[in-house]
Amino acid sequence: MRNPMKRTFNCRCCGHCCLSLIDAYNGCVSDADLQRWRALGREDLKAWVKTLDLGPGNQLHLAWVNPETGEDVERCPWLLERLDRKGFLCAIEEVKPDHCRAYPEHPPHAAATGCSGYQGARR
């Protein structure tokens, strides 16, 4: 939801990317994500990932999968609505998956996918 590397970007915390873009909340996480969480002892995050073994050196880490039911989630389990109900927050902002961290990739990507974070940004 926020990428500090993009100086002209200002996340509105609207939650659109987490709520509406399927890759954001229900896709795959990377090997690097899992390694990072392992190093941090974040078993609670790993518990929501289901790894499919597709052959030697070929794994797919599906996220997010409810550890109790084994079902794909319908909404990211880490998305929190702000108390004032004026937006959303990521409960795992500091360690969120790479694909969340990378969104949006650039202004045209934001515009094409409904993110308003570049609108009105100072250059």
Residues of the shown chain interacting with ligand SF4 in the complex, contacts defined by CB under 6 A = 1, 11-18, 24-25, 76, 78-79, 90, 92, 96-97, 100, 103, 115-117
CB of 7 to ligand SF4, least distance (A): 15
CB of 78 to ligand SF4, least distance (A): 4
Q: Are 60 and 49 in contact (CB under 8 A)?
A: no
Q: Closer to ligand SF4 at the Cβ: 51 or 80?
A: 80
| Cα–Cα distance for residue pair 75/85, rounded to 1 Å | 17
CB of 70 to ligand SF4, least distance (A): 19
CA distances from 58 to 43, 72, 103, 107 (A): 22, 21, 25, 33
Q: Closer to ligand SF4 at the Cβ: 49 or 57?
A: 49
